[in-house]
Amino acid sequence: MQTVPRKRTGNGIIFSQKAAPYIFVSPFILSFLLFFLYPSISTIIMSFQEVLPGETKFIGVENYKKLLNPHFYAALRNTTIYTIWTLIILIPLPLVLAVILNSKAIPGRNFFRSAYFIPALTSTIVVGVVFRLIFGELESAPANTLLKWLGLPPQQWTMHWGTGMFLMVFLASWKWLGVNILYFLSGLQNIPKELYESAEMDGAGAFRKFFYITLPLLKPVVIYVLTISIFGGFRMYEESFVFWQNQSPGDIGLTLVGYIYQEGFMNNDMGFGSAVGIVLLIIVFVINIIQLKVTGAFRKEG
């Protein structure tokens, strides 16, 4: 019996089981090469160069020596303190609110879930304009009016380091609180209800269920939120820009990303800006590796 040869078509390669995995991952690989690996390597090279219009030359580690200046120290201090405050606020508070909103005993919980998430959909620039009106320098500004009503002196909010930091942290907390609540709510949905029912049968109260069931089973979500919050804190720029536009008095609003923008684009010193960017990358990488090690994210489950 004579066999009929199978007809080859161009679609054969596309629908091949061997080629399919490479076709599916190729968009990610191309995006990684074009938008991450190539810019990263170029930035590392530029950090050892003096980049002027039409002229580029290697200058060794001179750009890194220039980092030892008061502006970089101020940017590093502001960014670090801002990140610490956002971690203190934007992890415990959304976690508690998510547990409350996950309870069926809370009336209108779907409304509150939506209400908390709406700020994340709002532009930071638009919100910043509203915040500048609320926390204006005039005594008739709403925030100063409230202080006077409480018997406290009015403040020049954007002229002092403490009040400036408060504004940036308050704006970030208002905007990202709902997003973190959403992460924790999604984690709470995956906790089996049988565990809570068994704990109730054993006489466990709300606090014991929270600390012995909810927190341990939410640990992967907490680690994830902690990781992206550290990234978000050190890459902060918009919250500072809406209040000072890169010209804050005494560098009270200067951040590391703002310093990169100042040196790289406003002062046309791309080499020094790249050096600041590489240092920022190393800081974030080291901090996240340490926190992942401490929280046991690298530990294999037995």
Residue of 244, 222, 179 lying closest to 91 (CA atoms): 222
What per-residue confidence (pLDDT) applies to 295?
84
* pLDDT (0 to 100) of residue 54: 76
pLDDT for the residue numbered 154? 87
The answer on pLDDT for 174 being more than 50 is yes
Please, which pLDDT band fits residue 124 given cuts at 50, 70 and 90?
Answer: confident
Tell me, what's the pLDDT at 13?
A: 64
Whether the CB-CB separation of 178 and 204 falls below 8 Å is answered with no
9 — pLDDT class (breaks 50, 70, 90): low
User: What is d(CA 89, CA 96) in angstroms, rounded to the nearest whole number?
Assistant: 11
pLDDT at residue 47 is higher than 70: yes
Judging by DSSP bridges, how do beta strands 55-58 and 49-52 pair with one another?
Answer: antiparallel
What pLDDT sits at residue 1? Answer: 47
Radius of gyration of the chain (CA): 26
Alpha-carbon torsion 72, 73, 79, 83, what sign? positive
The average confidence (pLDDT) of the chain is: 87
- pLDDT digits 0-9 by tens, 225-263: 999 999 999 988 888 888 888 788 888 989 999 999 999
69-76, long-range: CB within 8 Å, 24+ apart, which pairs?
70/251, 71/251, 71/254, 71/259, 72/259, 72/276, 74/250, 74/251, 74/254, 75/251, 75/254, 75/255, 75/256, 75/258, 75/259, 76/256
pTM confidence score? 0.85
CB distance 107 to 119 below 8 Å: no
Query: Has residue 127 got a pLDDT over 90?
Result: no
Q: Is the pLDDT of residue 5 over 90?
A: no
Which of 15-24, 197-206, 268-277 is least confident?
Answer: 15-24
* Least-confidence region, from 64-68, 104-108, 167-171, 172-176: 104-108
Model confidence at 79: pLDDT above 90: yes
Q: What is the mean pLDDT of residues 71-80?
A: 94
Range 43-53 average pLDDT:
88
CB 149 within 8 A of CB 158: no
What pLDDT does 205 receive? 83
